[in-house]
């Protein structure tokens, strides 16, 4: 079943908290509900983006430099992809690299966290007059919504703002993966039967007051509440919960926020969610880089490896684009605090599924990982690549509220077509 592209979940929550008109039989509405061009044939239907905030070291993950002074403490290891090596911190993922590709030549332009994050997540530079949408908002704006759940979900952190696409394309935020959202149930002491009766009363009140307060305002309010009610009553909500998941599966992904987030992302796309962003921080390793990266690897490795393996075995990997991105890399030089500093000139990303050829490496950095040596890829080429995989026309222009036409993908952005069969 297909629905309109974006649902206003963020606005729904705000409207109902502001009253949606008031209190219903002693129960605030805010507590009653908290949510109320062609690009060619596409293979991908869903995206799972792992966002590693802080700037993840490319040399200590996807682009090892064995035998060079910049190598650091980690050794490269062989993978299931012929001739492709990655860091030893990913032993399980190494066995799945025949399903995945690497881009080792992303050439960023921003070395400060805020500006670099904006550049990677939107494909544009920051502007004082305009907020550009993130990838998730673009995807749900352009692709039909599937099922009852929000089309765009951000886990363990807020996703980028929807910008000129409006709040209807904002991410639905999940705090800790696997825990029920308190806003998606009636307050303590209010049974489901009693709550549903109050919803019916609310609907009648809305109909009576629609002429008094203006049809447009009331219609928007009713739509917000209808969306929230549909979400509350949907059997698909179980995708957010992990309490009935096999404990062995949770252990395989890792019983951590990241592992649970990866597992929940899989469940969500199986239910029809278009775009899931799983957020993780702690990569700003100006000191103790190697200790931190080893700890990150212990958490990320089983989760990412299990996700790719499960999607591949179920046949869903072909329809699901999986990426791991960060706003920049880290310096090849190790500083006096055993850390690596910000480095935007070249860094890497992991990408799998959605029609991407496995075992492929795109581009390269120089011998020390300092700058691109071959096939530089611009940040907005990543956006063009995601749009290409999903059959979205990145050249499409959207009229902003200020009547300014804006391209979905920045001019000059080109898909990395070598990734695709």
The pLDDT tens digits of the residues spanning 48-66 come to 999 999 999 999 999 999 9
Q: Provide the pLDDT for residue 40.
A: 55
Structure tokens at 246: 């096999």
Helix (H, G, I), strand (E, B) or coil at 104: strand
Q: Which of 7-11, 211-215, 328-332: highest mean pLDDT?
A: 328-332
Q: Provide the pLDDT for residue 199.
A: 72
**Which of 39-43, 61-65, 331-335 has the weakest average pLDDT?**
39-43
Strands (DSSP E) along 42-161, which ranges?
46-52, 76-78, 85-87, 100-106, 145-146, 152-155
Per-residue pLDDT tens over the stretch 262-288? 999 999 999 999 999 999 999 999 999
Per-residue pLDDT tens over the stretch 340-369? 999 999 999 999 999 999 999 999 999 999
Q: Provide the pLDDT for residue 148.
A: 87
Largest pairwise CA distance in the chain: 76
Q: Going by C-beta distance under 8 Å and a sequence separation of 6 or more, which residues neighbour residue 139? A: 47, 151, 152, 274, 275, 386, 390, 392
Q: Provide the pLDDT for residue 37.
A: 41
Question: Does position 297 have pLDDT exceeding 70, yes or no?
Answer: yes
Given pLDDT bands bounded at 50, 70 and 90, which one contains residue 27? very low
Q: What residues are paired with 23 via a beta bridge?
A: 28
Q: Provide the pLDDT for residue 221.
A: 57
Domain extent listing, the chain: 42-143+152-180+275-372
Helix (H, G, I), strand (E, B) or coil at 12: helix
**Which of 33-37, 85-89, 114-118 has the weakest average pLDDT?**
33-37
What Å distances lie between residue 196 and 26, 30, 35, CA to CA? Answer: 15, 15, 15
> Are 64 and 364 within 8 A, CB to CB?
no
Q: Provide the pLDDT for residue 7.
A: 56
Residue in 343, 341, 356, 351 with CA at minimum distance from that of residue 389: 356
Per-residue pLDDT tens over the stretch 213-263? 556 555 555 555 666 667 777 778 888 889 989 999 999 999 999 999 999
Structure tokens at 287: 């000191």
DSSP H/E element including 3: strand 2-3
Question: Does position 402 have pLDDT exceeding 70, yes or no?
Answer: yes
Q: What are phi and psi of 233, to 5 degrees?
A: -95, -5
Residue in 101, 106, 70, 69 with CA at minimum distance from that of residue 86: 101
Question: Does position 31 have pLDDT exceeding 50, yes or no?
Answer: no
Report how far residue 117's alpha carbon sits from residue 327's, in angstroms, rounded to the nearest whole number.
5
What Å distances lie between residue 132 and 136, 294, 410, CA to CA? Answer: 12, 35, 10
For the segment 141-165, the average pLDDT, to the nearest whole number, is 94
Neighbours of 367 (CB within 10 A): 12
Mean pLDDT (the chain, rounded): 87
**Which of 11-20, 75-84, 96-105 has the weakest average pLDDT?**
11-20
Q: Which fold has domain 42-143+152-180+275-372?
A: Alkaline Phosphatase, subunit A (3.40.720)
Q: Provide the pLDDT for residue 321.
A: 98
Report how far residue 247's alpha carbon sits from residue 255's, in angstroms, rounded to the nearest whole number.
9
For the segment 154-181, the average pLDDT, to the nearest whole number, is 90
> Are 408 and 396 within 8 A, CB to CB?
yes
Given pLDDT bands bounded at 50, 70 and 90, which one contains residue 23? very low
> Are 224 and 15 within 8 A, CB to CB?
yes
Report how far residue 359's alpha carbon sits from residue 80's, in angstroms, rounded to the nearest whole number.
8
Residue in 162, 241, 228, 236 with CA at minimum distance from that of residue 196: 228
Q: Going by C-beta distance under 8 Å and a sequence separation of 6 or more, which residues neighbour residue 246? A: none
Q: Provide the pLDDT for residue 362.
A: 98
Q: Provide the pLDDT for residue 216.
A: 56
For the segment 167-184, the average pLDDT, to the nearest whole number, is 83
For the segment 77-87, the average pLDDT, to the nearest whole number, is 98
> Are 392 and 421 within 8 A, CB to CB?
no
Given pLDDT bands bounded at 50, 70 and 90, which one contains residue 411? very high
Q: Provide the pLDDT for residue 218.
A: 55
Q: Provide the pLDDT for residue 17.
A: 37
**Which of 49-53, 99-103, 180-184 has the weakest average pLDDT?**
180-184
Report how far residue 322's alpha carbon sits from residue 269's, in angstroms, rounded to the nearest whole number.
11
Report how far residue 388's alpha carbon sits from residue 378's, in angstroms, rounded to the nearest whole number.
15
């Amino acid at each position: 079943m297909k629905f309109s592209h974006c649902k206003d979940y963020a606005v729904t929550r705000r409207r109902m908290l502001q009253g949606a008109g008031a209190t219903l039989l002693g129960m605030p509405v805010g507590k009653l509900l908290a949510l109320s061009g062609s690009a060619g044939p596409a293979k991908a239907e869903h995206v799972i983006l792992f966002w590693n905030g802080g700037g993840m070291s490319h040399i200590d993950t996807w682009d090892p430099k064995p035998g060079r002074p910049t190598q650091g403490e980690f050794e490269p290891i062989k993978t299931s992809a012929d001739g492709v090596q990655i860091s030893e911190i990913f032993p399980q993922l190494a066995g799945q690299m025949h399903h995945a590709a690497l881009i080792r030549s992303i050439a960023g332009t921003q070395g400060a966290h805020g500006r670099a994050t904006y550049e990677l997540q939107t494909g544009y530079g920051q502007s004082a007059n305009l907020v550009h949408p993130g990838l998730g908002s673009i995807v749900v704006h352009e692709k039909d919504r599937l099922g009852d759940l929000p089309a765009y979900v951000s886990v363990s952190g807020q996703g980028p703002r929807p910008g000129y696409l409006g709040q209807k394309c904002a991410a639905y935020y999940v705090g800790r993966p696997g825990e029920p959202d308190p806003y998606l149930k009636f307050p303590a002491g209010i049974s489901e039967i009693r709550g549903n009766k109050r919803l019916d009363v609310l609907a009648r009140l809305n109909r009576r007051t629609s002429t008094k307060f203006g049809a447009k305002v009331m219609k928007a309010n009713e739509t917000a509440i209808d969306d929230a009610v549909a979400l509350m009553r949907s059997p698909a909500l179980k995708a957010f919960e992990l309490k009935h998941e096999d404990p062995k599966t949770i252990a395989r992904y890792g019983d951590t926020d990241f592992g649970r987030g990866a597992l929940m992302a899989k469940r969500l796309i199986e239910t029809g969610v278009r775009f899931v962003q799983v957020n993780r921080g702690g990569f700003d390793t100006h000191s103790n880089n190697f200790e931190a990266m080893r700890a990150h690897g212990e958490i990320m490795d089983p989760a990412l490896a299990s996700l790719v393996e499960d999607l591949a075995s179920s046949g869903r990997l072909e329809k699901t684009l999986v990426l791991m991105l960060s706003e920049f890399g880290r310096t090849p030089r190790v500083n006096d605090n055993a850390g690596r500093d910000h480095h935007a000139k070249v860094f890497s990303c992991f990408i799998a599924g959605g029609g991407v050829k496995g075992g492929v490496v795109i581009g390269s950095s120089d011998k020390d990982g300092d700058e691109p040596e071959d096939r530089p890829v611009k940040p907005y080429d990543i956006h063009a690549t995601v749009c290409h995989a999903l059959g979205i026309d990145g050249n499409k222009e959207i009229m902003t509220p200020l009547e300014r036409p804006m391209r979905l993908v920045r001019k000059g952005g080109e898909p990395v077509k070598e990734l695709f069969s």
